[in-house]
């Protein structure tokens, strides 16, 4: 028969082994969670950079669009000012003979 002291020793060894396994799993989970946190942080940074780029590109596009609209308006105004005044044309004077 196993004495109560031996039983207790076996029980404590088993308990020690279980706790060591639990600690190992916790460390493994902690490492996995750190990796996941790094990955998510990088993804968030990439998304933030993408949004910043999109906003900047939209601002530039609108600025160029506004510049083109101003240029077209200025060209229309320039052409308006350049239009010659209508001069009445006499008809039939050259070929009336």
The pLDDT, as a whole number, for residue 82 is 76
Whether 94 has a pLDDT exceeding 70, the answer reads no
Most confident of 35-39, 71-75, 93-97: 35-39
Answer yes or no: pTM beyond 0.75: no
The residue written with tokens 């006499």 in the block is 90
Q: In the block, which residue shows the tokens 């910043």?
A: 52
* 45: its two tokens: 């940074």
Q: What angle do CA 36, 30, 10 make, to 5 degrees?
A: 150
């Amino acid at each position: 028969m196993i004495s109560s002291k031996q039983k207790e020793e076996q029980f404590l060894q088993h308990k020690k082994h279980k706790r060591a396994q639990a600690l190992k799993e916790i460390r493994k989970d902690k490492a996995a969670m750190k990796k996941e946190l790094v990955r998510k942080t990088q993804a968030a940074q990439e998304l933030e950079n993408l949004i910043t780029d999109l906003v900047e590109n939209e601002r530039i596009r609108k600025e160029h669009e506004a510049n083109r609209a101003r240029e077209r308006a200025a060209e229309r105004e320039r052409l308006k000012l350049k239009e010659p005044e209508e001069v009445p044309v006499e008809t039939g004077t050259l070929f009336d003979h």
